[in-house]
Structure 1
Amino acid sequence: MSETRVQAADVRTAHQDLHSEQGALRGEHPGRSRNPVIKVADLAWLEFEKPDLRRAEVFARDFGFQVAARTERELWLRGTFAGSPCVVIRRGRTSRFIGPAFRAAERADLDRLGRATGSDVRDVDGAAVPGGGKAVDLLDPSGFPVRVVHCGERLSALPEQRPLPLNFGTGHRRTNATQRPPREPSRIQRLGHVVLETRVFGRALDWYLDTLGMIVSDFLFLDGQRDRGPTMAFIRCDLGSVPVDHHALAMHLGPGTGYVHSAYQVTDLDSIATGGEYLKERGYKRSWGIGRHIQGSQLFDYWRDPDHFMLEHFADGDLFSRDLEPGWAPMSTSGLAQWGPPATRDFLGTSPTPQRVRDVVQALRGDNEMDAARLLGLLRAANS
């Protein structure tokens, strides 16, 4: 067998019974950069603006965040794990997503990144960043502000919501005791990932791989258009042999440019379910759930906050080391979950709102990667 065939067989073997049945074909995107500027260590926090911080705090507590710091103009939210805050919400005229902040592994990475991009290293302005820190502010090809930060100290851990002891077959961990999970907010542990929509998917993907050293876990492509390249990527940080979340960032091609959802880890399925009942009792809207994803394998439940931002509770996600190559799969609604209710129009963003119609018109007229064939392929994927 030739060396090429051996390599192809190795790729296929690497995906059997793991995260995807398919690997890359010859000449397809490798899913990583040969010589990135730096390698970020994690997603640090997400930045938003909202006009009503009081209302934002009420939802945040109901969803399961703890308040790390609050000023007249800023609300910093955190999980129970030690580390950085999860979310910062600043007072603004409208409700909008600003961008993500990634954590640099070392302070020297900021200097390297600053030199490579012509950007300054400046102080982090954050009431909930213990000991302060440094940051480099960038702009990705989609137009999202991206901050790379290094903070000298970490927030201390908070008390955990303990997983319930479960009985499995002959493994009896609980006897002479009932199971009564309390009806309370899911206790957020940490920020997991953010999902973004972009009209310039290929350029944005390469920027995150080349600039921040991230690597792809899974690619999705449109049925009949694989030769045109992927239209979605689940992207993780590269910590070598240390396993990390299946994705800290996911991006997909679309007619708009913006925030899709963000995801926050909780303890277990009972935490997801009882936290969901708590949110439902308080009148919040479930977008989709409960179920288990395919890419990433997470147990999930999606909700809308009062400003219509989508947030996800998740548990039991996949962890990948650098060794695993990207998987490839067709993009489809049925491929979003192993089990659970059908994905809703709200989750898919397929409702023909005036803003969505404007997005489509602008995308088809603009200098980007959207065209009629791509748009038709995305519509078919949403209905498949």
Structure 2
Amino acid sequence: MTAQAESDRPDAHGDVHDGLHSEQGAIRGDRPHRATNPVIKVEDIAWLEFEKPDLDAAERFAHDFGFVTAARTADTLHLRGALAGTQCVVIRRGRGSRFVGPTFRAADVADVHRLAKATNGAAYELREPGGGVGVDLVDPSGVPLRVVAGVAELPALPLQRPLTVNAGGAVERANATQRPPREPARIERLGHVVLESARFTQALDWYQQHLGLIVSDFLYFPGQRDRGPTMAFIRCDRGATPTDHHTLAMTLGPGRTYIHSAYQVADLDALAAGGEYLTEHRYKRSWGIGRHIEGSQIFDYWRDPDGFLVEHFTDGDMFDNTLEPGWTPMTASGLAQWGPAVTRDFLEVNPSMIKQIVSALTAGDNEFTARRLLGMISMSRS
């Protein structure tokens, strides 16, 4: 990235990011938001993999949350959304519950082979539904991931139609009422995953260089702009084709941790009525309903029976590859434009976090230092 000239800074000619996605743009000396010559450029996130001991319970929640079962064996559950594409989630039977890793989709099989060669890996044929070719990798945080191509798409299923609304003085609906059914919000597709890393900078560099991902927004701890970002919202580079504001988001923290994953639904009514359905079935809402700042999506966060955080979202930002990154302080109050105050459950303030902090500070071989801890505390209180 070429840093903005002084004449391009907000105090000179107005904020070039005003009304777009963040409070200010980059200044001279900020880290690049993209690699100059990445190995490949992935097109999207394909699916996420988990392990859980009870596939029946996992499938019940999945259906209540809005997924459809694409395939199931004695030991594996494949879940999909309604849009044409690959599965969204794969759950394998395991002794405990854990997030395994993400799978990204490359443009073609040649890209998979190119990435395998660059990383001293080996491309192989996938033997699960959809086929295709993949390569298994590990990022600098230790998170296993896969990049695939040539996977057969599942056909589209009936979609939940967005409601016709009377807004802005226009009458689009006359002599008809609104009665959205209280039913599961139908998942359309996987949108993004958020991961925590104690080696945030190394991991970010790796994803930019190897997968061609570019940063939409950088966040930094209050008072620590000079020490660089502590969170990045990262999108795919598909040229002039707009893509999700973030396909992967990464944040600096004491552990190597799955934070949440997000799944698109039709509109606000689908999201809200689906939330009422989940409440009636005694699932735990973590935080929502509200609208984010970075990404702008309307959100609603839930805990599945194993404690994993999952999000319904709608109306998210879509960027092409021309937009420069935004930079803004990372604050708890800055997580949403409107909605209820962020909860302790969403921030995951719990005893396990304390153990991770002690372990990271004691190890001393990562980016999570005492000063970063103070920044994190300042962020959570702001």
Q: What is the Cα deviation at residue 238 of structure 1?
A: 0.2
* Residue aligning to 2:72: 70
Q: What is the Cα deviation at residue 152 of structure 1?
A: 4.2
* Residue aligning to 1:257: 256
Q: Tell me how large the CA RMSD over aligned residues is.
A: 1.3
* Residue aligning to 1:238: 237
Q: Which runs of 5+ in 1 are unaligned?
A: none
Q: What is the Cα deviation at residue 7 of structure 1?
A: 4.7
Distance across 1 between alignment mates of 2:370 and 2:144: 29
* Residue aligning to 1:383: 381
* Residue aligning to 2:92: 90
Distance across 2 between alignment mates of 1:322 and 1:13: 19
Does the 8 A contact of 1:11 with 1:23 survive in 2? no
1:326-372 alpha-carbon deviations (Å, 9 max, x no partner): 10000000100000000000001123x1x222211110012000111
* Residue aligning to 2:167: 168
* Residue aligning to 2:362: 365
- CA pair 319-12 structure 1, distance change in 2 beyond 3 A: farther
1:224-243 alpha-carbon deviations (Å, 9 max, x no partner): 11111000000000001110
- CA pair 12-142 structure 1, distance change in 2 beyond 3 A: farther
Does the 8 A contact of 1:63 with 1:279 survive in 2? yes
* TM-score, with length taken from structure 2: 0.97
* Residue aligning to 1:194: 193
1:165-197 alpha-carbon deviations (Å, 9 max, x no partner): 000143111111111000100000000000001
SS of the aligned residue for 2:255 comes to coil
Residue type matched to 2:177 in 1?
T
Aligned-pair identity (%): 62
SS of the aligned residue for 2:16 comes to helix
Q: What is the Cα deviation at residue 14 of structure 1?
A: 2.9
Map of 1:43-58 to 2, 5 A cutoff? 43-58=45-60
SS of the aligned residue for 1:137 comes to strand
Does the 8 A contact of 1:12 with 1:21 survive in 2? no
Residue type matched to 2:312 in 1?
H
Q: What is the Cα deviation at residue 258 of structure 1?
A: 0.9
* Residue aligning to 2:20: 18
Distance across 2 between alignment mates of 1:182 and 1:166: 16
SS of the aligned residue for 1:230 comes to coil
Distance across 2 between alignment mates of 1:344 and 1:123: 44
SS of the aligned residue for 2:285 comes to strand
Does the 8 A contact of 1:14 with 1:324 survive in 2? no
Q: What is the Cα deviation at residue 12 of structure 1?
A: 6.1
2:39 equivalent among 37, 46, 55: 37
SS of the aligned residue for 1:15 comes to coil
Distance across 2 between alignment mates of 1:169 and 1:155: 38
* Residue aligning to 1:319: 318
* Residue aligning to 1:5: 6
Does the 8 A contact of 1:24 with 1:30 survive in 2? no
Distance across 1 between alignment mates of 2:283 and 2:297: 22
* Residue aligning to 2:110: 108
Distance across 2 between alignment mates of 1:64 and 1:252: 28
1:29-48 alpha-carbon deviations (Å, 9 max, x no partner): 12100010000000000000
Q: Which runs of 5+ in 2 are unaligned?
A: none
Distance across 1 between alignment mates of 2:149 and 2:137: 15
Does the 8 A contact of 2:15 with 2:24 survive in 1? no
* TM-score, with length taken from structure 1: 0.96
